[in-house]
Amino acid sequence: MRMQIVVIGANAAGAKAASKAKRINPKADVTLIDRGGFISYGACGIPYYISDTVADVKDLMSTPVGVVRDAGFFKKVKGVTVKTGTEVTGIDREAKVVNLFETATAEKTSLEYDRLILATGSSPFIPKICNFDLQNILTVKSIEDAELLKNCAISGNTACIVGGGLIGLETAEALQQKGMKVTVIEMQEQLLPGILDRELAFLVEKQLRQQGVRVMTGCRVTGFTGKSAVEKVLIGEQELPADLVVLAPGVTPNVSLARAAGIDIGITGAIAVDARQCTNDPYIYACGDCCETTHLITGKKVHIPLGSTANKQGRVAGINAAGGEATFSGVIGTSILRVFNINAGKTGLSETEARANGFDIETVLSPAHDKAHFFPGAKPIVLKLIAEKLTGRILGLQAVGEGVVDKRLDAAATAITFHATADQLSQIDLAYAPPYSAAMDNLIVAADILKNKLAGHARGISPHEVKRKCDEEDDFILLDVRSPAEHGEIGIEGAKLIPLGMLREKLGELPRDKEIIAFCKVSLRGYEAQKILDAAGFENTKFMDGGILAWPYPLRGANIATKQ
């Protein structure tokens, strides 16, 4: 008897699982079921369709050669039967049957399975606030959402984005490019919470403000008002006008079908699976946004829904369901986005996450150009590298800037996955030529600074901590060791100027009983100043990590973004 494999959910994870199962076991009957009308589309591309970067919505549903991935494609090319517009209403695990409801005909049917794969995905989280069902309050999840958003993106109108995460910021850019007046509202005190630490998130926020997007952090939306369509967003007693609202505060895994069938739900609220993507039922697998996975650094269960992870999990689930053998070890939370002229991303743990998980860590902020500084088109990026103090093991990297950050994140992700230390990372033989990087790539430089810190040679202090000291009027010297021209053009209010080349002869101008924090543009001269002061017998010296380029706060003089 031929094996019957049924896959519920026909997007990233489900489509991959069904296709792989058929390739592994060509004699199996594979059926792919979805309640929607569109399948196997790239939801991550929706903001780019809204902004017209992607011209045709069909491009989100097609192969690289332009063939639309519809039911006919899956049948002819993959050998997979697709049933769209079909709701799975229940799973009878004992009988190995899924119960179906055909939306168009209202017909109730059933389908037997030998192996079942749950790829039910996730749904946008809808806050329980008043009048969220008004017209023009939309989400960013489906092709239908994409068409509605594009139709509502009317130049001159106002839009409020609820949620400052990846999708929220990408959608904010898309709507602003369509000529809308955009406000981003984030409940946390910073944008991209859970992805970037505060000082790097501030750099992203600065870019949004420079592009004309209003940013409101630490604000909770309490409701909406309007007659039939939304007109205002309520934030406590404050009212913001809005012709369009996009809800993007996150997603929740679709687990109701699994829960009703007695499938175990994990601590994250997503379906619990083992390394084979198998649930507590040996005949049922789960993959994609509906299931949890393991964080490779902490060993804890996490729910980090990404299209890349969904595809990898779908492949593993398809192999195993078809009788093969494969495992998915887990994730380290790698993510990236572009918002206007800024690229930003993270791999591994942020400083906040590392400390929350009990790691004793050291961090480094290292700004530099993404290629040789003299090469045309070189642009700045800021890296934040995090390592465990005792072992030197790399725990995470964050990267923000106008330049290329993905190659640094990818290299760090590889290093983190294979438990590399700061010393090992600093020795990696990366590709070099002036169009691609400096001779000492930013990532190598960051690893070297980290090694110096771990060895006690370098004593860096974050811009956030320096700002706190300034605000609280701590008794310390903030020492600018740049040139007089650099200092005169832009700087930090209250800093004392002694150019690095004159520091040795002007040591007498500095008090030996106070903390001295040196800084420059990128922290290299600041570190040199710390070493000079150390050698001269000063006992409380540091340098500011990242220098001016990593300073996310207001500066004396012109805006740093226009000067770097």
Residue for token pair 């790539």: 441
| Residue 422 confidence class, pLDDT cut points 50, 70, 90 | very high
Cβ-proximal residues to 221 (8 Å cutoff; 6+ apart), any chain: 127, 129, 162, 185, 187, 233, 234, 235
Predicted local confidence at residue 133, as pLDDT: 87
> DSSP states of 178-209 as a string?
TT-EEEEEESSSSSSTTTS-HHHHHHHHHHHH
Measured distance CA(20)–CA(12) in Å, rounded? 12
Q: Tell me which H or E stretch contains 318.
A: helix 307-321
In 406-563, which ranges are continuous DSSP H helix?
406-417, 422-426, 442-454, 463-471, 484-489, 524-535
Backbone angles phi, psi at 338, to 5 degrees: -115, 130
Query: Is residue 107 over pLDDT 70?
Result: yes
Measured distance CA(122)–CA(340) in Å, rounded? 27
**Token pair in block for residue 292:** 């949890």
Cα-based distances in Å from 93 to 9, 97, 264, 281, 443:
18, 7, 13, 8, 51
- SS3 assignment for 162-186: ECCCHHHHHHHHHHHHCCCEEEEEE
Measured distance CA(240)–CA(183) in Å, rounded? 9
Pairing of strands 541-544, 515-519: parallel
- SS3 assignment for 493-522: CCCEECCHHHCHHHHHHCCCCCEEEEECCC
Q: What is the pTM of this model?
A: 0.92
Three-state secondary structure call for residue 286: strand
Percentage of the chain modeled with pLDDT above 70:
99
Query: Is residue 560 over pLDDT 60?
Result: no
Q: Give the fold, CATH level 3, of 341-454.
A: Enolase-like; domain 1 (3.30.390)
| Residue 563 confidence class, pLDDT cut points 50, 70, 90 | very low
Predicted local confidence at residue 558, as pLDDT: 52
| Residue 70 confidence class, pLDDT cut points 50, 70, 90 | confident
Predicted local confidence at residue 1, as pLDDT: 65
Pairing of strands 115-118, 122-124: unpaired
Measured distance CA(149)–CA(382) in Å, rounded? 33
pLDDT tens-digit profile of 488-531? 999 999 999 999 999 999 999 999 999 999 999 998 999 999 99
CB atoms within 10 A of CB 448: 19
Arithmetic mean of pLDDT over the chain: 94
Average pLDDT score over residue span 17-46: 93
Question: Which residue, among 144, 150, 115, has the nearest Cα to 24 in the 3D structure?
Answer: 115
Q: What DSSP character marks residue 36?
A: S
Query: Is residue 156 over pLDDT 70?
Result: yes
Query: Is residue 64 over pLDDT 90?
Result: no
Predicted local confidence at residue 129, as pLDDT: 85
Cα-based distances in Å from 546 to 199, 363, 543:
11, 11, 9
Domain 461-562, CATH among 2.40.160.50, 3.90.245.10, 3.90.230.10, 3.40.250.10: 3.40.250.10
CB atoms within 10 A of CB 130: 11
Specify the CATH number of the domain 137-249: 3.50.50.60
| C-alpha atoms less than 13 angstroms from C-alpha of 481 in its C-beta half-sphere | 30
Percentage of the chain modeled with pLDDT above 90:
89
The reply to whether 4-122+252-321 and 341-454 are identical in fold is no
Predicted local confidence at residue 561, as pLDDT: 38
Three-state secondary structure call for residue 44: helix
Query: Is residue 564 over pLDDT 80?
Result: no
Predicted local confidence at residue 562, as pLDDT: 34
pLDDT tens-digit profile of 375-397? 999 999 999 999 999 999 999 99
Which amino acid makes up residue 552? P
- SS3 assignment for 46-71: HHHHHCCCCCCHHHHHECCCCCECCH
Measured distance CA(291)–CA(15) in Å, rounded? 16
Which residues are catalytic, by number?
44
**Token pair in block for residue 383:** 């890296």
Task: State the sign of the Cα–Cα–Cα–Cα dihedral 556, 559, 561, 564.
Answer: negative
Question: Which residue, among 182, 262, 241, 247, has the nearest Cα to 216 in the 3D structure?
Answer: 182
Ordered by start, the domain boundaries in the chain are 4-122+252-321, 137-249, 341-454, 461-562
Measured distance CA(35)–CA(57) in Å, rounded? 20
**Token pair in block for residue 218:** 């630490």
Specify the CATH number of the domain 4-122+252-321: 3.50.50.60
For the chain, the C-alpha Rg in angstroms (whole number) is: 27
β-bridge mates for residue 184, sequence order: 161, 215
CB atoms within 10 A of CB 271: 29
pLDDT tens-digit profile of 218-267? 999 999 999 999 999 999 889 999 999 999 999 999 999 999 999 999 99
Predicted local confidence at residue 367, as pLDDT: 95
Long-range pairs for 444-449: beta carbons < 8 A, 24 or more residues apart: 445/366, 445/368, 446/364, 446/366, 446/383, 446/385, 446/397, 447/385, 447/394, 447/422, 447/423, 449/364, 449/366, 449/385, 449/523, 449/527
CB atoms within 10 A of CB 103: 13
Predicted local confidence at residue 236, as pLDDT: 87
Cβ-proximal residues to 133 (8 Å cutoff; 6+ apart), any chain: none
Cβ-proximal residues to 526 (8 Å cutoff; 6+ apart), any chain: 481, 518, 519, 520, 543, 544, 547
Pick the more confident residue, 130 or 162.
162
Query: Is residue 197 over pLDDT 80?
Result: yes
Scored b (16 or more CB within 10 A) or e, 286-299 reads bbbbbbbbbbbbbe
